[in-house]
């Protein structure tokens, strides 16, 4: 018995894929890194828990960014989960700036990476794995430090920043 060759699915249009991804609500983070005196941060929503034993997370970073080179070279990064009132920081770190931390309240972590003040949570990582995926690299980090504070997170949904509603946690 012969089998028919599989029929190739039509390619997914970039606009359709982007529209689908706009339906995915995500926490807004700033991934920070450091090499010597060079500090960098980038706004990202592509961050996810991987494992609790050992604790690991992943961050997806475009290979053309400064952050990519710093993380790849130093083997360390921090994920700063922004609070609802930190929308200005999300916008700031979405741009390429010569001095991205100028005037930004921050401290230092165990890895040497900058940690943003008032973030909902900060997760410090040492790089354990990297996987190339299209134009990006998936960096898997083993968590070496965590700090949390009780605050409402900043969300990104349908092309804009959002907050949780007081009633039932719905997006408004």
User: pLDDT in tens for each of the 172 residues of the chain?
Assistant: 567 777 777 788 989 988 898 889 999 999 999 999 999 999 999 999 999 999 999 999 999 999 999 999 999 999 999 999 999 999 999 998 889 999 999 999 999 999 999 999 999 999 999 999 999 999 999 999 999 998 999 999 999 999 887 665 555 5
Q: Can you give the residue range of the structural domain that contains 140?
A: 26-157
- Domain-located, residue 131: yes
- Domain-located, residue 33: yes
- Domain-located, residue 143: yes
> Where are the strands (E) in 12-169, listed by range?
26-27, 29-35, 38-44, 47-52, 55-62, 76-81, 106-108, 114-116, 121-133, 136-148, 155-157, 160-162
- Domain-located, residue 87: yes
- Domain-located, residue 7: no
Domain count, the chain: 1
- Domain-located, residue 79: yes
90: domain CATH number? 2.30.110.10
- Domain-located, residue 168: no
Give per-residue burial for 136-162: e unless 16+ CB within 10 Å, then b.
bbbbbbbbbeeeeeebebbbbeeeeeb
């Amino acid at each position: 018995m012969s089998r028919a060759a599989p029929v190739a699915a039509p390619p997914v249009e970039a606009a359709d894929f982007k529209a689908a991804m706009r339906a995915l609500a995500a926490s807004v983070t700033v991934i920070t890194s450091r090499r010597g005196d060079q500090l960098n941060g980038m706004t990202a929503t592509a961050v996810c828990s991987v494992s609790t034993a050992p604790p690991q997370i992943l961050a997806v970073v475009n290979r053309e960014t400064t952050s990519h080179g710093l993380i790849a070279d130093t083997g360390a990064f921090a994920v700063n989960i922004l609070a609802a009132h930190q929308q200005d920081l999300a916008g700031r770190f979405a741009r390429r700036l010569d001095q991205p931390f100028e005037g930004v309240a921050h401290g230092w972590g165990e890895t040497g990476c900058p940690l943003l003040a008032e973030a909902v949570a900060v997760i410090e990582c040492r790089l354990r794995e990297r996987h190339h995926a299209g134009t990006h690299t998936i960096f898997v980090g083993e968590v070496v430090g965590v700090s949390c504070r009780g605050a409402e997170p900043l969300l990104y949904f349908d092309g804009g920043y959002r907050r949780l509603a007081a009633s039932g946690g719905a997006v408004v």
